[in-house]
Amino acid sequence: MDSLRHELARFIQSPAARHDPPGLYRKLLDSAPVLDLGRVHVVSGYEEIVTVLMHPGTMVDPSAVGLARSGSSALGSVVARMLPLRDGSDHSRLKRLATAAFSARRLDVIKRQITDTTQQLLTPLLASGSFDLVADLAVPLPVAVSCAILDVPEQDRGRVTGWAGLVARSLLDPFADEAATAALDAEFAEFRDYVEELCAQRAARPGDDLISRLTVARAEGRIDSEDLLAFVVMLFANGLETLTSGLAVAVWQLLQRPELLELCRLDPESAEAVFDESQRLGSPVRASARAVTRDVPVGGTVLPAGSVALLLYAAANRDPRRFPDPDRFDSARAERRHLAFGHGPHHCLGAPLSLMVGGTVLRTLAAAGAERELSTPLTEATAPWSEQFVFGGLRELPILSPPRALAGAGVRAA
């Protein structure tokens, strides 16, 4: 068991040690679905993670067990108030406010915008013959979706994209030095002012967007200005990490398995199921954590009060006790309730939206595959996976898309 602890510690601390995560996941699931590393207990089994997520003795707030929140910038303090980082009745109260923005009726309105934006972005990229899926599509598309939810004017979306990148950088590097923190706060002050401008506009002319709903809630005293700002930050933070990573992982799977491209072309309605299965196998959000505030029995052991449970979603999504033949890609699985979008009270509100966006991208690429030969020069050995521990997506994904007539004549490179 000591060798497994050592291997897991290297996996957590060193990007170079993450070259074969499924191999480590199998060892954990076979030998130690709950592994004691001292104050931290790594939980990798599906049912064990669900137990922790649903237990009233666990919280997302690390200060509940005496740990400090990361980050000291003004943006960091707002991030700490985002919905995924709140607990109990406070979380429930705020979640009710956000639910309407992700309702089936609202998603129906946004669906056409998602389709149009995906086409607008992908059509010239495909025609160019080569592009980077991450920088050219998987970053701007989630920003455009968040702008649609907030009803941000088209002419402002360039500025908003820059601020969204600011949010992402803050999440990935919460321990910036003093100079970097000051620069971050100065940029964030501009973003805060812009959100207040939108609120003033919606107060005068309310709409059905999230900003309008939040502006009303603030006027009625149900939230304060920091909560309102945290909602907006949350949309961009989740989009630029979870959805960006999810799109890259899904297209990677599509390019590794030509039969999936054909499936999505012949049966466009299957695209969301293909995207969903790619999230299970790829787990863009590799892990999360919970503070343990009282003893929690899990999988034949006990997580002691005051400890931290590190929840390894990526391993749980390959748990053979939940998913037969877990390393096989099967978009028609009978059991599709994986943990890529979380579980329980903190299950991602935007999961249906992510599936809609992912399905749209896969359908669009599959349709283009009838006329263009889609491939990537990357291999499993050369793919530049994220060096972050929590987020497991690709940093870049070059796509080659020559017309099939030229590809057949020997122009294709893959």
Question: The tokens 């999988």 sit on which residue?
Answer: 299
The answer, yes or no, to whether residue 29 has pLDDT greater than 60, is yes
More confident residue, 113 or 29: 29
Q: What is the pLDDT of residue 411?
A: 43
Give CA–CA dist 221/408, Å, rounded.
64
The answer, yes or no, to whether residue 129 has pLDDT greater than 80, is yes
Q: What is the pLDDT of residue 406?
A: 60
Give CA–CA dist 279/254, Å, rounded.
12
Superfamily (CATH H level) for 2-411: Cytochrome P450 (1.10.630.10)
The answer, yes or no, to whether residue 180 has pLDDT greater than 90, is no
Per-residue pLDDT band at 355 (split at 50, 70, 90): very high
What is the mean predicted confidence (pLDDT) over 302-315?
Answer: 96
Task: Note if the pTM is more than 0.75.
Answer: yes
| Ranges assigned E (strand) in 197-292 | 288-292
H or E stretch including 400? Answer: strand 398-400
Tell me the β-bridge partners of 298: 301
- For 278-298, the pLDDT digits (tens) are 999 999 999 999 999 999 999
- For 139-160, the pLDDT digits (tens) are 999 988 888 888 888 888 888 8
